[in-house]
Amino acid sequence: MHQLHQPALLKEVLGYLDPGPGKNLIDCTFGFGGHTLEILKKIGPDGKILGIEQDKEIFEKFEHSEHRKRLILVNDNFNNLKQIVKEYEFNRVDGILYDLGVSSWHFDQSNRGFSFQVSKRSEPLNMSLSGDDLTAEEILNQWPEQELIRIFKEYGEEKFPGRIARVICEERKKHQIKTTKQLVEIISRVVPKKYQYKRIHCATHIFQALRIAVNDELNKLKESLPQALEILEKNGRLVVISFHSLEDRIVKNFFREAAKKGKLEILTKKPIIPSLEEIKLNSRSRSAKLRCAKKI
């Protein structure tokens, strides 16, 4: 399997998911199979994995994987979890993993505008993970100013949502905003100088907001978690890795509510974060947070 995408917190995932011989697990975000491959080793010879991958291009790379006897791979979104499990008659689920966000491949090679590293290249503003119709270009050129402000504030936690939205709306009257380069130039022009040279790039939050809006990421996560809880066997483990505070908050609140109702036992009082060694080897893992709970 490809090693383009280094799986975050691999050792910790294996520790908390506790995959043993004969167990059945679901990887809701298969990606390049980094976690799945290691889990398959632990659950052999009879345990199976159901892998869900919403990106068709990535799915097609693994459709004919040599592990197909024990790996069922589905091109779908995890918000259809219950339906998928039913359709593939994947019964007795002992653990479910979510590794949220996008892979390094999306940033570096997909050519869909996920990355603002314009020095390397400019890409079309697509940002769709599933190939659905909505794109970042459509949002930037057609959504009303108030909606842009809302998503920049809500999904990007951007400091200057109004300023940036206003200038985008002025610019699009003159010409369509089609590329990552155009968007980064607008943002750089608008934000105060001191924000342009911070450790976090001044376009980070806007790109995050657009990606979340295009793929409806937060709502899909909210829809999926209750399904995961329902599908899990008693004592089954639910492990979620998130990469920004919005996702992490959803997971934390879901675990807390389910624990209050006596449905889950939270196994991570605080989120688990990567070691300094891991961050050195894979800088993109630095914002990863893992939470785990067990079904009661």
Strands 49-52 and 71-74: parallel
What average pLDDT does this structure show over 59-84? 91
Residue 190, classified by CB atoms within 10 Å of its CB into exposed (0-12), middle (13-18) or buried (19+), is middle
pLDDT bin (cut points 50, 70, 90) of residue 199 is: confident
Q: What is the pLDDT of residues 36-64, one digit of tens each?
A: 999 999 999 999 999 999 999 999 998 88
Residue 75, classified by CB atoms within 10 Å of its CB into exposed (0-12), middle (13-18) or buried (19+), is middle
pLDDT above 60 for 30: yes
pLDDT above 60 for 22: yes
pLDDT at position 2 is 43
Neighbours of 100 (CB within 10 A): 22
pLDDT at position 26 is 98
What average pLDDT does this structure show over 230-245? 97
Q: Is the dihedral of CA 208, 209, 212, 213 positive or negative?
A: negative
Chain length of the chain: 296
User: CA 105 to CA 72: how far, in whole Å?
Assistant: 22
- % of the chain beyond a pLDDT of 90: 84
Helix (H, G, I), strand (E, B) or coil at 248: helix
pLDDT above 70 for 93: yes
Q: Is the dihedral of CA 30, 35, 37, 40 positive or negative?
A: negative
pLDDT at position 130 is 86
Q: What is the pLDDT of residues 146-172, one digit of tens each?
A: 999 999 999 999 999 999 999 999 999
User: CA 291 to CA 266: how far, in whole Å?
Assistant: 8
For residue 13, give the H/E element and its range: helix 10-17
pLDDT above 50 for 3: no
pLDDT, averaged across the chain = 94
Q: What is the pLDDT of residues 208-231, one digit of tens each?
A: 999 999 999 999 999 999 999 999
**DSSP state string for 83-132:** HHHHHTT---EEEEEEE-S--HHHHHTS-SS----TTT---BS---SS--
User: CA 266 to CA 7: how far, in whole Å?
Assistant: 23
What average pLDDT does this structure show over 134-150? 98
For residue 206, give the H/E element and its range: helix 204-215
- % of the chain beyond a pLDDT of 70: 97
pLDDT at position 5 is 60
What average pLDDT does this structure show over 253-281? 97
What average pLDDT does this structure show over 106-126? 86
pLDDT at position 208 is 97
pLDDT above 80 for 272: yes
Q: Count Cα atoms within 13 angstroms, Cβ side, for 10.
A: 16
Contacts for 39 with CB less than 8 Å, ≥ 6 apart? 14, 17, 19, 25, 27, 49, 97
User: CA 201 to CA 208: how far, in whole Å?
Assistant: 12
> Is 193 or 41 the better-scoring residue by pLDDT?
41
Q: Which domains does the chain have, with CATH numbers?
A: 10-104+217-295 (3.40.50.150), 112-215 (1.10.150.170)
User: CA 155 to CA 207: how far, in whole Å?
Assistant: 10
pLDDT bin (cut points 50, 70, 90) of residue 1 is: very low
